[in-house]
Amino acid sequence: MKALTWQGKRNVSVETVPDPGLVMPNDAIIEVTSSAICGSDLHLYEVLGPFMDQGDILGHEPMGRVVEAGSQSTLSVGDRVVVPFNISCGSCWMCSRGLYSQCERTQITEYGSGAALFGFSKLYGSVPGGQAEYLRVPHADFGPIKVGEERPDHRYLFLSDILPTAWQGVKYADVGEGDTLAVYGLGPVGQFAARIGVHLGARVFALDPVEERREMAKRHGVEVFDISDESHEAIRDATEGRGPDAVVDAVGMEGHQSPLGKLAHQAVGLLPDAAGQKLMEVGGLDRLSALHSAIDLVRRGGTISLSGVYGGQADPMPMLTLFDKQIQLRMGQCNVKRWIDELMPIVEDASDPLGIDDLVTHRLPLSEAPRGYEMFQKKTDGCIKVVLEPQAG
């Protein structure tokens, strides 16, 4: 089959690789019909290279049809399914508490990491990902989400990751009717987090340097701002000088604006693997612009919820401010399956309450995936969300 493979920093290519087959009796194989590119893929593309092997298949936002089902999977050939990016068993101590991204049966103990993830580097088990024609799905007795036939792929596809991620981000931020929420970053995750805030009755401010991303959020009832001190002032003015009740950081480790951090990042991407890994594990290498801004902006006693991924181990944090402002911090990979029962009625609602129909800017055949990565990273051609269609073309 054809699959999108990691080859080096900012270098991915479509290669012919062996078709996946059933390994465990609870596996299934799906023919992938849609597979999105995520901001997390950009971290692998750019700074997490030391944890990748040449030829690794990327992708963790897939859906498709079951073409083979192991005897202990709960799926049947022909089922239409969305595959959550975390691989979880559904019944261990962590899973039984809804902490599916910490599944004790799939944790990558060698790296001290949580549950295995599709297409996500050695840190998460080097599991072949879903930007491919076919995908082997382990734990197909629990993970895959069966969906109906009535809606197009893109309505369901984002249940694999960014919709539950944004939902968890806002739930952890603990905002509802009448509260105020600021969202940093209007990539796909921030778009949904901001719209979910509006949907739950909050007044939502969002900040992003990219004009068309702000324009998109504005179409969904979000008050948008460029990143600047003036924006912070304006949001403070709108919240009686206190700052918003909560902030969702949907930017993560590659935030704009921090020359020093940028240098360290570039160094890691260019070092030989072992040295790069070591530096990444012990070094404080995140670009913390968005997180530090969030700490500045949130009101005293407020909550900061990190959806954006961070990966440094020695990041400088303003502990005085965090403590003095009495800030609560919540974070983590999304526990995808925990939120599906709440989200399914919303994605199937004919009135499309979260405006899911307004997110995808590019649909490309798999053969054009390298161009999709480049556009998404450089934010050219108005690119906000790319969906690959491996069965097209």
Ligand X SMILES: NC(=O)c1ccc[n+]([C@@H]2O[C@H](COP(=O)([O-])OP(=O)(O)OC[C@H]3O[C@@H](n4cnc5c(N)ncnc54)[C@H](O)[C@@H]3O)[C@@H](O)[C@H]2O)c1
- Where does this chain bind ligand X (CB under 6 A)? 38-40, 42-43, 161-162, 165, 184-190, 207-210, 213, 227, 250-252, 255-257, 289-290, 307-309, 333-334
Residue 135 near Zn ion by CB under 5 A: no
Considering beta carbons, is residue 65 or 262 the nearer one to ligand X? 262
Residue 92 near Zn ion by CB under 5 A: yes
Torsion of CA 66, 69, 74, 78, to 10 degrees: 30
Minimum Å gap between C-beta 182 and ligand X is: 10
Residue 250 near Zn ion by CB under 5 A: no
Considering beta carbons, is residue 134 or 310 the nearer one to ligand X? 310
For Zn ion, the binding residue among 28, 32, 89, 279 (CB under 5 A) is 89
Nearest to residue 78, comparing CAs of 151, 146, 150, 153? Answer: 146
Residues 6+ apart with CB under 8 A from 92: 103, 104, 105
For Zn ion, the binding residue among 161, 249, 254, 368 (CB under 5 A) is 161
124, 107 in Cβ contact below 8 A?
no
For Zn ion, the binding residue among 105, 262, 363, 379 (CB under 5 A) is 105
Minimum Å gap between C-beta 183 and ligand X is: 9
For Zn ion, the binding residue among 37, 83, 95, 135 (CB under 5 A) is 95
Residue 290's binding partner among Zn ion, ligand X, none (Cβ under 5 to 8 angstroms by kind) is ligand X
Minimum Å gap between C-beta 212 and ligand X is: 10
Minimum Å gap between C-beta 148 and Zn ion is: 23
How many residues line the site for Zn ion (CB under 5 A)? 9
Considering beta carbons, is residue 255 or 276 the nearer one to ligand X? 255
Residue 256's binding partner among ligand X, Zn ion, none (Cβ under 5 to 8 angstroms by kind) is ligand X
Minimum Å gap between C-beta 136 and Zn ion is: 18
Residue 368's binding partner among Zn ion, ligand X, none (Cβ under 5 to 8 angstroms by kind) is none
For residue 87 the two structure tokens come to 């691989």
Minimum Å gap between C-beta 187 and ligand X is: 2
Residues from 5 through 34 that contact Zn ion (CB under 5 A): none
Residue 254 near Zn ion by CB under 5 A: no
Considering beta carbons, is residue 68 or 208 the nearer one to ligand X? 208
End-to-end CA distance of the chain: 14
Residue 334's binding partner among ligand X, Zn ion, none (Cβ under 5 to 8 angstroms by kind) is ligand X
SS3 labels along the chain: CEEEEEEECCEEEEEECCCCCCCCCCCEEEEEEEEECCHHHHHHHHCCHHHCCCCCECCCCEEEEEEEECCCCCCCCCCEEECCCECCCCCCCCHHHCCHHHCCCCCEHHHCECCCEECCCHHHCCECCCCECEEEECCCCCCCEECCCCCCHHHHHHHHCHHHHHHHHHHHHCCCCCCEEEEECCCHHHHHHHHHHHHCCCEEEEECCCHHHHHHHHCCCCEEECCCHHHHHHHHHCCCCCCCCEEEECCCCECCCCHHHHHHHHHHHHCCHHHHHHHHHHCCCCECHHHHHHHHHCCCCCEEEECCCCCCCCCCCCHHHHHHCCCEEEECCCCHHHHHHHHHHHHHCCCCCCCCCCCCCEEEEHHHHHHHHHHHHHCCCCCCCEEEECCCC
Considering beta carbons, is residue 139 or 199 the nearer one to Zn ion? 139
Minimum Å gap between C-beta 40 and Zn ion is: 4
Residue 388 near Zn ion by CB under 5 A: no
Minimum Å gap between C-beta 161 and ligand X is: 5
Minimum Å gap between C-beta 335 and Zn ion is: 11
Residue 206's binding partner among Zn ion, ligand X, none (Cβ under 5 to 8 angstroms by kind) is none
| Site residues for Zn ion per CB under 5 A | 38, 40, 88-89, 92, 95, 103, 105, 161
